Amino acid sequence: MIPLAMPLIGDDEIAAVNRVMRSGMLAQGSEVAAFEEEFAAAEGANAAAAVSNGTTALIVALQALGIEPGDEVIVPSFTFAATANAVATIGAIPVFADCDPDTFCIDPDHAASLVTTHTRALIAVHLYGHMAAMGRLHELARDNELYLVEDAAQAHGAERDGHRVGSLSDLATYSFYPTKNMTTGEGGMVTGRDLELVERIRRLRNHGMTERYHHATVGTNARMTDIAAAIGRVQLRRLEIWNRQRRAIAATYDLHLAGNVAVPFVAADTYHVYHQYTVRSSRRRDLVESCEETGVGYGIYYPIPCHQQAAFDRYSSGRALPHTESASEEVLSLPVRPNLTEAEIEQVIDAVNKGAKE
């Protein structure tokens, strides 16, 4: 069986964890501070605040921007539920937008049609590692005085039109879950250009404390541990090469799968980091059967879009999102992790082509 994803943990990560364990300082400390600085530098942000995971990253980002109960936040329906859950968790209202049928990311035109006097923010999700149309979303946010947040849980290191993740938004959030392009076990990060905003996130993640037992605002415990940060610092050094390896595998797949399935669309001037390599076919069932028969791991992200989930019933108002609905029936993600062997890559190609031709 070729697993779809696996964390790439080597001796350096293990040594880093041992170092922290021996230091006696396990919770948020100097490793977290160093990781924040290094991550901000790597992503071209002015500052970064590490948090416990990608979901809390979204929650504290929205809170730091002052999103309040009853505010509307436009989100794509075609995303992991965490995006919408973060909005709903703080009492705001997720308003679901359709996706662009090519990139699967939020459709700026449809998002524009959803703006009301209650809309306060817009979240762009860079699905599968391909950045959303940030230029247009930035204009939309600016013209309507909305905050713009990037959910970059799947897009560490991605770029589009010369813009790096985080450069056209108020805040960008990341996840370091083990299947992501880099991991800390569990973990997340918020990056931003406005230092005061990032400072607000640091307070929110630590019970609103400005100094020990002085609570300026209500907050929570969304801190990252030094153990996680030590892993992240090692992983960050490998991110660029891993992304290049993902891209090389994707190029090989493109070459051998095009014609049998729709291979991932890449917009002009886009640096796709292939968190997932996602093909599209109206005959997905045949592809799935072939993968199962030949031991190729696969994933369907996502089989039920957010606007059709019971959890979000009261927000979706029965609205149809045609591009999202057909994507959820046709997408299939294939293994693209950097440590795939040549033989495994060939096995994946054979499984897909066999399934497509049956």
Ligand X SMILES: Cc1ncc(COP(=O)(O)O)c(C=O)c1O
Please classify residue 356 by burial: count the beta carbons closer than 10 Å to its beta carbon, then call 0-12 exposed, 13-18 middle and 19+ buried: middle
Residue from 76, 94, 166, 188 touching ligand X (CB under 6 A): that is 188
| Rounded CA separation 312/84 (Å) | 8
Indicate whether 312 belongs to the interface with ligand X (CB under 6 A). no
By beta-carbon proximity to ligand X, the closer residue of 63 and 260 is: 63
For residue 52, count other CB atoms closer than 10 A to its CB: 22
Name the minimum Å distance from CB 226 to ligand X: 18
Name the minimum Å distance from CB 263 to ligand X: 21
Residue from 42, 45, 84, 125 touching ligand X (CB under 6 A): that is 125
By beta-carbon proximity to ligand X, the closer residue of 153 and 287 is: 153
Indicate whether 166 belongs to the interface with ligand X (CB under 6 A). no
Name the minimum Å distance from CB 82 to ligand X: 4
Q: Which of 68, 235, 83, 205 is nearest to 152 (CA)?
A: 83
By beta-carbon proximity to ligand X, the closer residue of 28 and 290 is: 28
Task: Identify residues 16-75 at the interface with ligand X (CB under 6 A).
Answer: 53-55
Indicate whether 83 belongs to the interface with ligand X (CB under 6 A). yes
Binding-site size for ligand X (CB under 6 A) equals 14
Indicate whether 153 belongs to the interface with ligand X (CB under 6 A). yes
**Span from 8-16, 80-88, 140-148, 280-288 in contact with ligand X (CB under 6 A):** 80-88
Q: CB within 8 A of 117, min separation 6: which ones?
A: none
Task: Identify residues 216-275 at the interface with ligand X (CB under 6 A).
Answer: none
| Rounded CA separation 277/256 (Å) | 13
What stretches of the chain show up as alpha helix (H) in DSSP?
11-23, 30-43, 54-64, 82-89, 108-113, 134-143, 195-204, 226-257, 284-294, 313-316, 322-330, 342-357
Name the minimum Å distance from CB 83 to ligand X: 5
Name the pairing type of β-strands 171-175 and 188-192.
antiparallel
Indicate whether 85 belongs to the interface with ligand X (CB under 6 A). no
Over the range 263-273, which residues count as b (16 or more CB within 10 Å of their CB) and which as e?
A: bbebbeebbbb
Position with the least CB separation from ligand X: 54
Binding footprint of ligand X on the chain (CB under 6 A): 53-55, 79-80, 82-83, 125, 151, 153-154, 175, 177, 188
